């Protein structure tokens, strides 16, 4: 009895007794004045009714960054102590990376400030520890902008679907990959051509590795998995495959299958035999009827499937200065709503998965580029048969030179891990010009 609090003990004071927090002003300090930081400052200064006053902007070489049009009261600084030692109520961290961002957030929380961050790598790696620091300090740490930019996916999943039991999260979480793949699809461009255009337009960085090889999406998938599936998974446990192996010809074959290609991130919980998590970030074949096929350019999409409400979809602009700034500012409002106090969240201790694997049992698409000779199909089919993998169809477009002939097999549903073994064996045969490309076929 004594351990359970009664209603009377926990009843809040009535609204009339409470200070009118709604009218107060929140002092906000900004760490990082890049694309998103500039948008945050712009949007806050454009809203005359905003309860948030920007008091500090920290950046290296801040003199060069300083802008007209922002309130004169803002203190521009390149000394982080000016921010951490200030009377700001909320610190927005937008410098990215693990350090010094993590140390600064930790110090801000311990000094009684709430923190809003868009730092996916940091939340992915050290989110749990920082959340604990925030709770211990009686403050809030919000990271809605770390996944899918302006799309309210974290709040949608964590709060809007709190009443469901989610078992699957899938989505298009990287706008750079989606831009490149939709460009290849619409124009017939090669990967390198589409990447170059993405770089010229500012949709891809000079070193595109984090995006095209899937590490960016993987960090977001880890955050969504923890927030929505309540499963504790580390990023290095999740398989990633690069989209750089996709050729223009794959879009032709995908088209023949009434499909297209997208970088898809999936995490799926299976509790039928312990807690198994299936998770991967990889290019995949997607039917044109799927909502994922309709995500164009740099947009994002997050699907969450629950036992009770079925599949819910959130989509929109997942990156860019203004959309990400909207997520940051929405988090400011969220903190204001609880007057900066930690919300009374229920014990959602993430479970540790007994196993994490990428062995989805789905149909597959395998594209071969070969130096033609008799027997290729027979030898390939023989190895697949040995692993009990059924062939659904063989597609071969006319017009390829015999020295570099592309053909495709679609395979009946099988375990990705088993198929990988078969493909390793097939790859040893002598006719390959390029390694076989294997993509799962995901339908909604």
- Closer Cβ to a copy of itself, 47 or 236, answer by number: 47
Which residues touch 114 (CB under 8 Å, ≥6 apart)? 89, 90, 91, 134, 139, 140, 141, 142, 335, 340
Asked if 25 interacts with a copy of itself (CB under 8 A), we say: yes
**How far is the C-alpha of 212 from the C-alpha of 276, rounded, in Å?**
27
Asked if 394 interacts with a copy of itself (CB under 8 A), we say: no
> Distances in Å between the alpha carbon of 236 and those of 14, 109, 180, 413, 427?
49, 28, 25, 26, 26
Per DSSP, the three-state class of 168 is strand
- Closer Cβ to a copy of itself, 5 or 206, answer by number: 5
Residue span binding a copy of itself (CB under 8 A) among the ranges 159-167, 243-251, 277-285, 379-387: 159-167
By CB under 8 A, what part of segment 278-337 binds a copy of itself? 289, 291, 294, 306, 308-317, 322-323, 325-334, 336-337
- Closer Cβ to a copy of itself, 95 or 326, answer by number: 326
Which residue among the candidates 113, 120, 183, 220 is catalytic per the annotation? 220
Write down the least CB distance from residue 7 to a copy of itself, Å: 6
Residue 220 is among the residues annotated as catalytic for this protein = yes
- Residue 377: phi, psi to the nearest 5? -65, -45
Are 119 and 143 a contacting pair, CB within 8 Å? Answer: yes
Are 215 and 233 a contacting pair, CB within 8 Å? Answer: no
Asked if 229 interacts with a copy of itself (CB under 8 A), we say: no
**HEC per residue, 218-268:** HHHHHHHHHHHHCEECCHHHCEECCCCCCCHHHHHHHHHCCEEEEEEEEEE
Write down the least CB distance from residue 358 to a copy of itself, Å: 26
Asked if 22 interacts with a copy of itself (CB under 8 A), we say: yes
Closest CA to 265 of 292, 290, 232: 292
Asked if 144 interacts with a copy of itself (CB under 8 A), we say: yes
Write down the least CB distance from residue 187 to a copy of itself, Å: 18
Q: Binding residue for a copy of itself (CB under 8 A) from 102, 150, 214, 228?
A: 150
Closest CA to 172 of 158, 198, 153, 159: 153
By CB under 8 A, what part of segment 341-360 binds a copy of itself? 341-347
Asked if 437 interacts with a copy of itself (CB under 8 A), we say: no
Give buried/exposed letters for 287-303 (b at 16+ CB in 10 A, else e): beebebbebebbbbbbb
Write down the least CB distance from residue 196 to a copy of itself, Å: 26
Q: Binding residue for a copy of itself (CB under 8 A) from 51, 297, 350, 363?
A: 51
Write down the least CB distance from residue 314 to a copy of itself, Å: 6
Active site residues: 220
């Amino acid at each position: 009895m004594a351990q359970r609090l009664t209603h009377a003990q926990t009843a809040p004071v009535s609204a009339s007794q409470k200070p009118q927090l709604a009218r107060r002003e929140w002092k906000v300090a900004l760490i990082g004045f890049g694309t998103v930081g500039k948008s945050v400052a712009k949007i806050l200064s454009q809203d005359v009714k905003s309860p948030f006053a920007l008091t500090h902007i920290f950046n290296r070489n801040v003199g060069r960054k300083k802008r007209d049009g922002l309130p004169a009261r803002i203190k521009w600084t390149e000394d982080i102590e000016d921010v951490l030692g200030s009377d700001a109520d909320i610190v927005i961290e937008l410098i990215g990376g693990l350090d010094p961002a993590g140390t600064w957030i930790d110090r801000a929380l311990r000094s009684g400030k709430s923190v809003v961050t868009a730092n996916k790598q940091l939340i992915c790696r050290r989110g749990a520890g920082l959340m604990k620091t925030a709770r211990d300090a009686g403050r809030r740490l919000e990271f809605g902008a770390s996944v899918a930019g302006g799309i309210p996916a974290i709040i949608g999943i964590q709060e809007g679907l709190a009443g469901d039991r989610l078992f699957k999260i899938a989505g298009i979480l990287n706008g750079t990959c989606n831009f490149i793949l939709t460009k290849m699809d619409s124009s017939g461009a090669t990967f390198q051509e589409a990447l170059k255009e993405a770089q010229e337009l500012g949709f891809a960085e000079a070193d595109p590795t984090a995006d095209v090889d899937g590490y960016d999406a993987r960090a977001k998938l880890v955050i969504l998995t923890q927030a929505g599936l309540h499963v504790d998974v580390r990023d290095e446990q999740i398989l990633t495959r690069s989209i750089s192996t996709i050729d223009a010809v794959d879009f032709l074959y995908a088209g023949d299958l009434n499909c297209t290609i997208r970088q898809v991130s999936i995490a799926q919980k299976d509790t039928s035999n312990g807690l198994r998590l299936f998770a991967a970030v990889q290019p995949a074949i997607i039917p044109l009827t799927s909502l994922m096929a309709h995500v164009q350019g740099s947009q994002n999409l997050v699907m969450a499937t629950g036992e009770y409400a079925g599949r819910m979809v959130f989509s929109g602009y997942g990156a860019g200065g203004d959309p990400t700034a909207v997520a940051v500012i929405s988090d400011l409002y969220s903190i204001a709503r609880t007057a900066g106090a930690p919300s009374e969240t229920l014990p959602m201790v993430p479970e540790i998965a007994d196993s994490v694997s990428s062995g989805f049992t789905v149909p597959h698409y395998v594209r071969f580029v070969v130096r033609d000779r008799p027997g290729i199909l027979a030898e390939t089919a023989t190895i697949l048969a040995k692993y009990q993998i059924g062939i659904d169809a063989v597609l071969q477009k006319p017009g390829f030179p015999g020295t570099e002939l592309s053909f495709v097999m679609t395979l009946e549903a099988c375990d990705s891990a088993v198929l990988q073994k078969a493909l390793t064996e097939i790859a040893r045969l002598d006719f390959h010009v390029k390694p076989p490309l294997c993509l799962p076929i995901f339908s909604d």
